[in-house]
Amino acid sequence: MPILIAAAVGYLLGAVPFGLITGRLTKGIDLRAYGSHRTGATNALRTLGAKAAALVFVLDVAKGVAAVLIARTLAGDDPEWAAAVAGFAAIVGHNWSVFIGFTGGRGVATSAGALGAVTPWTLVVISPLVVLVIWRSRYVSLGSIVGALLAPIVTVGWVVLGQANVPAIAYAVASGALVTAAHADNIGRLRAGTERKIGQQEAVSSND
């Protein structure tokens, strides 16, 4: 039962559509009508600007962190498995939010927040690598995919060193697979050379 409660709490927290709310409050728009039609920070950057995107990013990260911490508090004998399940459920909620017709983002910020709460040393290792990939390539999607694929590998390394546990590996594998799958269209555009680079803005209207 604690695992089921953790999953439910994680999903509902993840499902809070901060990107959509920010778009409504700042420009009176539905973020899903523009750009990638997603509600995450990258689409917010293109449509709402840097300040709004930073707010969306922080709030989406916080959803992942909160899901893990609350699950640990509620869980009894299996806090780490509950934390892993809640973190994964938060990504599912973010990507397919019950509050906005099962639409949402790609789960990058929320998965990073949960990863930092489940196995912080993994996040410490992969974050600079993700930033480096984005800086050199100018593709946020490429950096996100690299981070998702590296997370399980790095987490296994920390388990060997005694700094992480099996539930952390399970979370890293599941979340990495989900985030990568959510970028299927980006992968296609990267291969075709048509993916949008960071800094490209989206023309918006406040009358949608």
The closest alpha carbon to 72, from 87, 61, 82, belongs to 82
Contact criterion met (CB below 8 Å) for 182 and 95: yes
Q: For residue 204, tell me if it sits in a domain.
A: no
Q: What is the mean pLDDT of the chain?
A: 94
Q: For residue 202, tell me if it sits in a domain.
A: no
Q: How many domains does the chain have?
A: 1
Residue range 105-129: mean pLDDT, rounded: 97
First to last CA, the chain: 44
Please write the tens of the pLDDT for every residue from 75-86.
Answer: 877 899 999 999
Alpha helices in the chain (DSSP H): 2-14, 18-27, 41-48, 50-74, 79-95, 108-118, 120-137, 140-160, 166-182, 184-192
Q: For residue 199, tell me if it sits in a domain.
A: no
Q: For residue 205, tell me if it sits in a domain.
A: no
pTM given for the model: 0.93
C-alpha distances in angstroms, 207 versus 28, 74, 117, 173?
7, 44, 40, 42
Please write the tens of the pLDDT for every residue from 40-75.
Answer: 999 999 999 999 999 999 999 999 999 999 999 988
State which residues form the domain around 80. Answer: 2-192
C-alpha distances in angstroms, 89 versus 23, 25, 69, 85, 177?
24, 27, 13, 6, 13
